[in-house]
Structures are given as C-alpha cells and as structure tokens.
Chain A
Amino acid sequence: MEKITLAHGSGGTLMHGLIDSTMIRKLDNPILRQKKDSAILRIGKARIAFTTDSYVVSPIFFPGGDIGSLAVHGTVNDLSVCGARPLFLSLGLIIEEGLDKNILDKVIRSAGEAAGRAGVDIVTGDTKVVERGACDKIFINTSGVGDVYYEKLSVSEIRPGDVIIASGTIGEHARAILSQREGIEFGSGIKTDSAPLNKLIRKVFSASDKVRFMRDPTRGGVATTLNEITASRPFGICLEERAIPVSNGVRQACELLGFDPLYLACEGRFLMVVGRKDAAGVLNVIRGDSCGKKAAIIGEVTKEHKGRVYLNTAAGGKRLVDMLSGEQLPRIC
C-alpha cells in the first residue's frame, strides 16, 4: 500500500501530485481548483481573501524568530501576495503533554507581537493537548482573512517580456533552521528572513498597476514557486544566475551541505512578475523598505521554453531549473 513519506510534504512535485490527485479531486470546487495562496471569495459585495497554514517547524526557536511569529507572518504573507489587506487571524494550537508553560507563554507573546507589527488581530483560536510523542512540542495552525484591494493578480495576465523581481536575498530562513538543526554556524549574522510583507506589498501596488502576479517562495524555494507559475502556461521564465541575490552565509551553507539556494525556503520574501516598463520604479519602491533592501530583477518571462524555468548560469551556460523533487538531500562525497 502506498504510504505518505516526508517527501510528500516538501512542497515539490510529490506534494503537488498529492494535492491534485487527492485533495482537489475529492473536494473539487472552482475556488479550490485555482490553487492560489489564498482563496478569493465573493461575500455580498465584498471580495475576501481566505487562507490557512500549519506550522510544525523544528526547532521551535531559531535565530531571529520562533514558531509563533512564523505562524503569523506566513498567513499574513499568503493573504498579502493575493492583493489582500490582512485583517483577522485565528490561532489553533496542538500542544504536546509536558511542554513547559514558559515556552508556551513565549510563543504566544511572540505571535501577539508579530500580529501587532503586521496590524492584524488574532480573534479566535483553539487549544488541544495530546499525549507525549503524539506531536513535537507544539504545532500551530493559523487561518486568516483579508479584504482584496488589488484584483488584477492572475497568472493569465503574465506576458513574455515581463520581469521577475525577488524582494531580497533568498534562503535565509532555511539557513537559520539548518544552523540550529545541524549545529553548524555559517558565517555571521544568521537570522531568519521571516517578516510580515503586507506593508511593503501595499506600497508596491500603489506604485504600479502592472503587477501581474506575486507569490512567496516558501517550501521548495524560488525554483519550485516559479515552476508553479510556468506549469502548462504558454511562456517560460529565464533566470540570470548572477542577478539572484544570495548572501555569503547562505552560499557557504549550500556549498558545505550540498544544497542549491534556489530550493531553500524563504519566509519573508516575495517573487513578483511585473510589466517591464514599471520594473525599475517598483524595484526602487521595494529597495526603499527595510524588508527589501537587496531586491533585484532576477529574470524575465520568455516566449521560448514554454512551461519551463531555465537559468543562464554564472559560467555562461544554460540549464533547466526543475521543481524540487523529494527532500533536499545532503551530498555524500
């Protein structure tokens, strides 16, 4: 009998297969079928974005953040990249028997502070405690709603010639987690990129009405997110390896452990497809924000290689950039 493996949860090909073959097939409806970061709902005259996400990160405290702030940022960002203003969040807790009360206090305080900074309220919640071993310390689910103020975001708006912008250096969150998990220090200044992006994204939408699409590159990283965009579409995406912002610390971690930064998760970055004429202006706006200082144009939408993401390598060659398959594995020699 087929079993679910960890690779099914990695954000890559297997997970997409599972979602299509099981969740979408068995729960099918037109809104679910769109597979957006948030469902866009029409309730009366209002257009509401609605999303949910579960957080099982280990360790629960890591440089620059913790599971509480991460759970708020993640849901705020999933609403924001869909052109919505995040308003209200829920907080569902599954706690392992024996967890120190101090740890719970710390996580909840952190979630509250993160909500405060993002300007959202946590308005409902749920608490369950399970036997020791039935979960690992604490798992959190957050759902969120927001009102949609920018309605033009759609993959079908993307045209060859459009430009891809990354809002900052990639893979910092994965590096922060790895540094804790593997006990290896990679350079100085290790810190997750986890941050609420709603205010920055709002500025972007005020600066341009040529933003075609936006998504935050979480599990599976930039490579997987861009492949989700090009899948079965009449265009390709060409990346310029030398233009992709990667910090020295992330590069060191990748060289040492055999990872490709294109597949490392970010929790406070977005990727954006924008009309070429507006790209420079939008880039200036992003770089003016504390979350977007290292933003860069990393590639463009092409007529060639429809449905594919490819890369002009720093060495001058060209190669395919595929979706993540399996878990990212450490190299053995």
Chain B
Amino acid sequence: MKYIDEFRDRRLIDKVARQIRGAVDECRMYNFMEVCGTHTMAIFRYGIRDILPDNIRLISGPGCPVCVTPNEFIDKAIEISRRDDVIIATFGDMFRVPGSRSSLEKERAAGASVKAVYSSIDALMLAKRNQDKEVVFLGIGFETTAPTVARSILLAKKDKVSNYSVLCGHKTMPEALKVLTGDPGLAIDGFLLPGHVSAVIGARPYEFLPRRGKRCVITGFEPLDILQAILMLIMQDRPRIEIQYTRIISKEGNALARRAMDRVFEKCPSEWRGIGRIGSSGLRIKKEFAHFDAGSRFKPKIATPKENRACICGDVIKGLKTPPECKLFAGACTPEHPVGSCMVSSEGTCAAYYKYSVQRLADSV
C-alpha cells in the first residue's frame, strides 16, 4: 500500500534506529513530548520505545481530544440525549466516556438515540434523512476536526437544514502548549508536533516554542516518520521548527480550512480536563449561526459536574505522571470500566499503556 509500506519498511527503520543510537549523547537524558494521541497510539502499537536508546524518554501529551473534554460537556450531551426528539451523532470514541453520572453508551441502552458517525457531514445527512428529529452532533477535537464541523454548519445554513446543530467543544492546540511549556515542573526538551493539526494551522502558531528553548518537529504517524522526527530533534543545533511530515504539511497550512473555521467559530476560554481553564483555547459558534448551536438551542441544565479525585488523568495529560503511577490503573480503571477519560478514548495515554503495555507484559513472567 503506497505511503504506508515505505514508512513501515524494516530496513529503513533499522537504519534510522542505528542513526539515532549514533547521534545521542549518552551522558544526558532527552525528554520529548508527543503531543498528539495518534502519535501515542502509534508509538505503542509499533513498539517504538523498544527500539530507542534508554536515555530518550517519550512523554505523552494533551493531544487526545476525548481526554481533555471536561465532564461538563459529556453531562450536557447526555442531558440533550434524553430528549425524545433528539438523535445524538458522535465520533465513536465519545460513546463510553464517563460523564459525572452516566455515559452515552448507558443512555443508549436505556433508550436514547445515539449514533456513531465518521464525520460531521454524515451527521448532516442523518438530519436530512430524519426531518422529524433534531440531530445534534458532538463537535470535539482540535484544528483537525473543527474545519469540517464548520463546513457542516455552513452547508446546513446553505441547504436550510433546520434540524441540525452542534454541541461545540472544540479546542485549539497552541494555547495548551503555551501553558505546558510555562509549567516549570515539566522538563521537556522537544516536541513531536501533531501532523494533522499542523496540516491546517501550519508551522507559524508554534513559533513561541523555539523562543522558549524547545526543539520542534512536525511529525507523521508511521513508525519511520516518528523515528526520523526523533532523529531530527536530537540533531537540531539550536531550537527551531522543522517539518518531517513534508508529504502533508506546508509551512502555511490550509488557508481554506482556516477560513471555514474563522467564518463559523470565534475564540473563547475553554476548560481542559486535567489542565483547567485556558484563555482563548476554545472555539464557540458565532451568534450569526446560533440556530446551529445546540448549547444555546437546548440549554441543557446539568448538576454540578463530579470528578473522581483518585483519577490522575490531569497529570497524565500534562505528562507529569505515567498511567502506572495511578492507584486506579488496571484495577478500578480498565477499558471496560473506565474511570478517567484517558482510559476510554482509543487514543488516550492510559488506554495505550493498558492495551499495549510493556509493564503488563513484564508482570507476566
């Protein structure tokens, strides 16, 4: 398969792994954060930590959209799903995410209409096919998904689809990285920056990172991409932004996608699960499109959101702790009975540690 096989070629992988071993300074540690949840999953799935020298530490970052979605959002989605006239359309990952008191999966079993879709455009089609129902799409994700959701709202307006709306929980990535790099507790030398977010926003929004002394490489998702990016991070003579994922990313990003976002959304403060409120890190639907804003249309009333205090998802998302340091990990919190969002999302760090875990393998002698 073109663009896949080449990037999983074992000979090339072995070669880059040798180059990494040759390039590292054995007297120091390298702390690199992979920002994106898809990177985390790929690193575990291909066993990339096994291939790296011991003094390169990969820290999983906040780039799993499900994981940073606060309970409040899920509680609101659940409240809306209880209306008889509503079909909730969502990316599949959101199904099992526990809110304060329930999950969409449990609500579906209790009679709510919740459907998994692959895109917001599918949700819009669902609305067109079910004119007697209100279709509410759960808009979560970063700059990767936000433009497509913006597009679905623009299309809904153009086609006069009045029974489609979006519960908007979108977030933007650079602001979160600003907060993380301002945290003195987190010693990061460099970032594997997210490939697909960068396809939209380009390289410029990250320019503050080199100024803060952080090396950056915008990285693809195949094993060879990740290894090459790590090699590039090690070899940088001074902190700067490089693009490894050149087959997708241009420095300018995708202006068309950004225009759709700017047309429909405006910046707002946003709550990040585990990190807290970050100014200008969220997107909300502009007043002009209020008809398509499920939050203002349905005004869901929810009880004060609850969090499990023992869950350390917040520190995991910030890269301060690893999942096995959590008391709940693999005991009270498993993919079947997740306590925190990092366990339920297929791209969550806890799920990756659990599913592919070297620790669980090592425990079985």
Please say whether chains A and B are actual partners in one complex: yes
What is the CA–CA distance of A240 and B350 in the complex, to the nearest angstrom?
Answer: 25
Complex CA gap A266/B361 in Å reads 27
Contacts of A333 in B (CB 8 A): 36-38, 65, 141-142, 144-145, 196, 347
Which among A131-139, A247-255, A274-282 touches the partner chain?
Answer: A247-255
B51 close to chain A: CB less than 8 A: yes
| A99-119 residues at the B interface, CB under 8 angstroms | none
Whether A3 and B110, one on each chain, are in contact in the complex, defined by CB atoms closer than 8 angstroms, is yes
Do A236 and B364 touch (CB < 8 A)? yes
Q: What separation, in Å, do the CA atoms of A252 and B65 have in the docked complex?
A: 24
1/0 contact string of A315-333 vs chain B (CB within 8 Å): 1111110100111011111
Within 8 Å of chain B (Cβ to Cβ): is A5? yes
**Are A17 and B336 in contact, CB atoms less than 8 angstroms apart?**
yes
Contacts of A151 in B (CB 8 A): none
Is B356's CB under 8 angstroms from A332's CB? no
Q: Which residue of chain A lies nearest to B357 when distances are taken between CB atoms in the complex?
A: A320
Establish whether residues B91 and A330, one from each chain, have CB atoms under 8 Å apart when the complex forms: yes
Contact (Cβ within 8 A) A316 B14: yes
Stretch with Cβ within 8 A of B (4 or more), from A69-77, A121-129, A305-313:
A305-313
Measured between beta carbons, the chain B residues less than 8 angstroms from A14 are 336
**When chains A and B are docked, how far (Å) is the Cα of A129 from the Cα of B254?**
55
A27 within 8 Å of B (CB atoms):
no
List of B residues within 8 angstroms of A316 by Cβ: 10, 13-14, 17, 47, 50-51
CA separation between A255 and B334, bound complex, in Å? 25
Q: Check A304 for interface membership: any CB of B closer than 8 A.
A: yes
Contacts of A242 in B (CB 8 A): 10
On whether the beta carbons of B105 and A322 are closer than 8 Å, the reply is no
Residue in A257, A313, A320 whose beta carbon sits within 8 Å of that of B358 in the complex: A320
Across chains A and B, the number of contacting residue pairs, with CB separation under 8 Å, is 134
Q: Does A258 contact B (CB under 8 A)?
A: yes
Q: CB-CB < 8 A to B83: which residues of A? A: none
Give which listed residue, A251, A252, A326, contacts B96 with CB less than 8 A.
Answer: A326
Count B interface residues, CB 8 Å: 54
Is the CB of B140 closer than 8 A to any CB of chain A? yes
- Expressed in whole angstroms, the minimum distance between the Cβ of B335 and any Cβ of chain A is 4
Question: Once bound together, how far apart are the Cα atoms of A108 and B51, in whole Å?
Answer: 54
Q: A314 at interface (Cβ–Cβ under 8 A)?
A: yes
Min CB distance A250 to B, Å, is 11
A332 x B365 contact (CB < 8 A): no
**Interface code B322-365, partner A: CB below 8 Å = 1, 0 otherwise?**
00000000000011100000000011000000111110110011
Cβ of B144 and Cβ of A255 under 8 Å apart? no
* A46 sits at the interface (CB 8 A): no
Across the interface, name the chain A residue whose C-beta is closest to B3.
A255
Most buried by A among B94, B110, B223, B364: B364
List the A side residues contacting B145 at CB < 8 Å: 332-333
**Is the CB–CB distance between B50 and A326 below 8 Å?**
no
Asked if A332 and B92 make an inter-chain contact with CB atoms under 8 angstroms apart, the answer reads yes
Q: Which of chain B's residues have a CB closer than 8 A to the CB of A7?
A: 96, 105, 336
Q: Residue-by-residue, is A1-34 near B (CB-CB < 8 Å gives 1, otherwise 0)?
A: 0011111000001100100000000000000000
A315 contact set on B, CB distance < 8 A: 8, 10, 13, 46-48, 51, 223
B64 to chain A, nearest CB (A): 9
Contacts of B8 in A (CB 8 A): 314-315
- CB-defined contacts of B27 to chain A, threshold 8 Å: none
CB B252 to nearest CB in A, in angstroms, measures 21
Within 8 A of A (CB), among B183-199: 196
- CB contact under 8 A between A257 and B46, given known A319-B358, A326-B335, A326-B336: no
Asked if B66 is at the interface of the complex by the 8 Å CB criterion, the answer is yes
Is A320 a contact partner of B361 (Cβ separation < 8 A)? yes
Are B118's CB and A318's CB within 8 A? no
B116 close to chain A: CB less than 8 A = yes
B95 adjacent to chain A (CB < 8 Å): yes
Within 8 A of A (CB), among B1-34: 1, 4, 8, 10, 13-14, 17
> CB within 8 Å of A: which of B83-108?
91-96, 105-106, 108
- CB-based nearest A residue for B356: A319
Q: Is A317 a contact partner of B336 (Cβ separation < 8 A)? A: no
B44 in the interface (beta carbon within 8 A): yes
Bound together, the chains give a CA A3 to CA B103 distance in angstroms of: 12
Judge whether B361 and A308 touch: CB under 8 Å.
yes
Task: Determine the chain A residues whose CB is within 8 A of the CB of B347 once the complex forms.
Answer: 331-333
Q: If the complex has contacts A332-B65, A332-B91, are A13 and B142 also in contact, measured as CB distance less than 8 A?
A: no
Task: Write out the residue numbers on chain B whose beta carbons fall within 8 Å of the beta carbon of A312.
Answer: 47
B299 CB–A CB distance under 8 Å: no
14 residue pairs bridging A and B, Cβ less than 8 Å apart: A5-B108, A7-B336, A251-B4, A305-B361, A307-B364, A315-B46, A317-B46, A317-B49, A317-B51, A319-B46, A319-B356, A322-B356, A332-B141, A333-B347
Known: A236-B364, A319-B361, A330-B91. 5 other contacts (CB 8 A): A312-B47, A325-B355, A326-B335, A329-B346, A332-B140
Residues on B close to A: CB < 8 A?
A: 1, 4, 8, 10, 13-14, 17, 36-38, 44-51, 65-66, 91-96, 105-106, 108-110, 116, 118, 140-142, 144-145, 196, 223, 334-336, 346-347, 354-358, 360-361, 364-365
